[in-house]
Amino acid sequence: MGKTLIIAEAGVNHNGSLEMAKKLVDAAKACGADIVKFQTAKLDSLVSKSANMADYQKKNTGVEESQKEMLSKLLLDFDSFTELAAYCKEVGIKFLSTPFDIESIRFLNDMQDIWKVPSGEITNYPYLVEIAKTKKKVILSTGMAEMDEIKAAIDVLTGNGTDDITILHCTTEYPAPIKDVNLNVMKTLKDAFGYPVGYSDHTQGIEVDLAAVALGAEVIEKHFTLDRNLPGPDHKASLEPDELKAMVDGIRKIEDALGTAEKKPSDVELKNRLVARKSIVAKTAIKKGDILTEENITTKRPGSGINPMKWNEVIGTAAVRDFEEDELIEL
């Protein structure tokens, strides 16, 4: 089992504040995440004036307005991302931001060596082509997608310059109900497309993320926030820092627990084998020359004598000496 790549998804949980974004960087680093990820977009290229808020956005913000009005209060400008990337380097955590338009792709291209394609862009042909032309690793989220849409997106990416792809299973709802997670889809994706798989999680809590790693996820992406009670569309489906740290620690433990696929006694087991296993012993006192039968021998701990799997070899033989009750039988 390799090391799971853990992406702490800050997204727009900075609420448009560069200062808060830096605090999110600090928190992600302190929690042990490998990457802290944001979202970069030019508002006019992202949504039209007529785009409505999603139901979860209305519910989580308590406000009903256009997507454009909502996002205008959440997006950072390009200069802020330049500063954020430098700050991540200073802090010692990998910077990543998901672009939502071609201008943002070109802006971010010199700042990161991988791309995270969000679920909403999986059917955006010109976007995928622009990503693929950079020939960088792509982490592809598949929320809301049909299998044929995933294949089409992969075909666009591979046909335009990149074959280094990891596919993330995802349920696009904030928070996502546990009953709609369907973690077994990861195996379906891996079997169908042959690429590494992972999981982009929007559930509350960390249990699903730990289960995903146990099922073979090589990447985990999870939203986090400084405070789940802050205003904004994604905070309520995000982990707070103590929970993010618990998730990271839990994943690292599961990696250790998965270990090797070879079945053999581990070093720590060997010292217990003699204690836990049994040997063939005298059930009653036995005289030299007596025939060993089911009436005068049995099996008891410790396991330092004759293995009970040799029972049929011992039955019917003559005792080589006197044995007291519970004494290990010798042949």
Q: In this structure, are residues 165 and 151 in contact, taking their beta carbons and an 8 Å threshold?
A: no
- Give me the domains of the chain, ranges plus CATH numbers: 5-258 (3.20.20.70), 267-314 (no CATH)
Cα separations in angstroms, 281 against 112, 140, 224, 308, 310: 68, 63, 61, 9, 12
Does the predicted model carry a pTM greater than 0.75? yes
Per-residue model confidence (pLDDT) at position 81: 98
**In contact, 281 and 327? CB cutoff 8 Å:** yes
Specify the residue for token string 């997670």: 181
Cis peptide before 302 (omega within 30 of 0): yes
What are residue 272's phi and psi, to 5 degrees?
-95, -10
Q: Which 8-state DSSP code applies to residue 123?
A: T
Residues belonging to the chain? 331
**What pLDDT is recorded for position 71?**
78
User: 161 with 221: CB under 8 angstroms?
Assistant: no
- pLDDT score of 175: 92
Cα–Cα distance between 84 and 82 in angstroms, integer? Answer: 5
Question: What is residue 276's predicted lDDT score, i.e. its pLDDT?
Answer: 97
In what order do the strands lie in the sheet containing 197-201?
94-99, 35-40, 5-11, 219-223, 197-201, 165-170, 137-141, 114-117
| The residue type at 304 | S
Say if residues 119 and 126 touch (Cβ distance below 8 Å).
Answer: no
**Residue given tokens 């060596």 in the structure block:** 113
Q: Which spans in the chain are helix H?
A: 18-31, 43-46, 55-61, 67-72, 78-91, 102-108, 125-133, 147-159, 185-193, 207-214, 241-258, 267-276, 311-314
The pLDDT score that the predictor gives to residue 50 is 81
Phi, psi angle pair for 171, to nearest 5°: -115, 110
Tens digit of pLDDT per residue, the chain (331 long)?
579 999 999 999 999 999 999 999 999 999 999 999 999 999 888 888 888 877 878 777 778 788 888 778 789 999 999 999 999 999 999 999 999 999 999 999 999 999 999 999 999 999 999 999 999 999 999 999 999 999 999 999 999 999 999 999 999 998 999 999 999 999 999 999 999 999 999 999 999 999 999 999 999 999 999 999 999 888 989 999 999 999 999 999 999 999 999 999 999 999 999 999 999 999 999 999 999 999 999 999 999 999 999 999 999 999 999 999 999 999 9
- Other C-beta atoms lying within 10 Å of the C-beta of residue 129: 15
End-to-end CA gap in the chain: 46
Nearest-angstrom CA–CA distance, 121 and 97: 14
Encoding tokens for residue 267?
């070093």
